[in-house]
Amino acid sequence: MKINSKTKLCMLIGDPIHHSLSPQMHNSGYEALGIDDQYVFVSIQVKPTDIEDFLKGFKAMQNFHSFTCTVPHKVIVMPYLDAVDPVAQEIGAVNVILKEGSKLKGYNTDWLGFTCPLEKRGIPLKGKKVALLGAGGVARSIAYATSAGGGELTVYNRTPEKAQALAIEFGGEFGSLDDLTGIAGADIIVNATSVGMHDKKTLLPKEYLSRDHIIFDVNYPRTHLYQDADAVGAQVIDGREMLLYIGIGIFKYFTGYEGPEAAMRKGLGI
Ligand code: ATR
């Protein structure tokens, strides 16, 4: 154990939090770089109603260095921050909060979970047709990334008004989950809904999938959608891979170092 009185505490806050793989991923990275005496990463459950108290404590405790947040804090924390970086502002959510002097500033690395796996595979987003299922918080960062990267966005959502609003905001088209025939012509399909996380359901009938598709699912462990995608020979990118690149972005903000990919992958078990 290398933790000492100068060790900086980095945190993930969320509610619930028990399923998170972030502590293993970040601590593996700190260990690989030999900075595990300087940084330690823990996850902490914080109820949405306690966010203001949490932030007061975070500011007061000097060793509390930085934190990342997940559902349901990414938007509700924003009014309490002193500054928000322009990318996070455009996405409308933060997932990294740093102490800068006595001020708190928010950033967003969620969109890297979509763009980096594509870059790593040498797939440019420019001109790609992206079919995005979902219009919640996770979907927003993917809509932003698609628009910023020059992709062609179509949003499908259970509540059509939300699909329409997201599409208008990020310059895309929208459609209904009841008619997914357009999906066949997409290059990249993203399940950014929670469907499949707790059950074996999938929004995408297998007959719409083909080996030409790249399929993302923000959920982990692997959902039923992956079985269907594998069966047709599509390229699949799973929720843990997205978490990895979101995490590498967080690592840089927290420590100033490039996140060591191999060690962080190992921490995630991928
Ligand atoms: P997150 O921040 O994780 O994206 P969220 O903001 O609650 O969470 O969004 C969840 C997404 O999953 C939404 O797009 C939601 O659709 P609605 O906007 O219609 O609520 C979608 N979703 C959740 N359960 C669903 C279901 N059973 N069928 C279809 N879509 C579902």
What tens digit of pLDDT does each residue of 98-119 get?
999 889 999 999 999 999 999 9
What mean pLDDT, rounded, does the chain reach? 95
pLDDT at 127 over 90: yes
β-bridge partners, 174: 155
Q: Please write the tens of the pLDDT for every residue from 32-51.
A: 999 999 999 999 999 999 99
Task: Report the pLDDT value the prediction gives residue 149, as an integer from 0 to 100.
Answer: 97
Ligand 1, pocket-test mutation among 156, 193, 219, most atoms within 8 A of CB:
193
Residue nearest to atom 26 of ligand 1 (CA): 195
Task: Please work out whether the CB of residue 159 comes within 6 Å of at least one atom of ligand 1.
Answer: yes
pTM: 0.94
Alpha-carbon distance of 229 to 61, in angstroms, equals 47
Neighbouring C-beta atoms of residue 119, cutoff 10 Å: 13
* Rounded distance from Cα 134 to ligand 1 centre (Å): 6
Q: What is the pLDDT of residue 203?
A: 94
| Cβ neighbours of residue 14 closer than 8 Å, sequence gap 6 or more | 20, 43, 45, 46, 69, 70, 71, 72, 73
The span from the CA of 184 to the CA of 204, in Å, is: 10
The pLDDT of residue 269: 94
Distance from C-alpha of 121 to C-alpha of 125, rounded to nearest angstrom = 11
Give me the pLDDT at residue 137, please.
86
Q: Residue 35's pLDDT is what?
A: 98
Q: What is the pLDDT of residue 19?
A: 86
| Strands in the chain per DSSP E | 8-14, 39-45, 64-69, 83-84, 96-100, 103-107, 129-133, 152-157, 173-176, 188-191, 214-217, 235-237
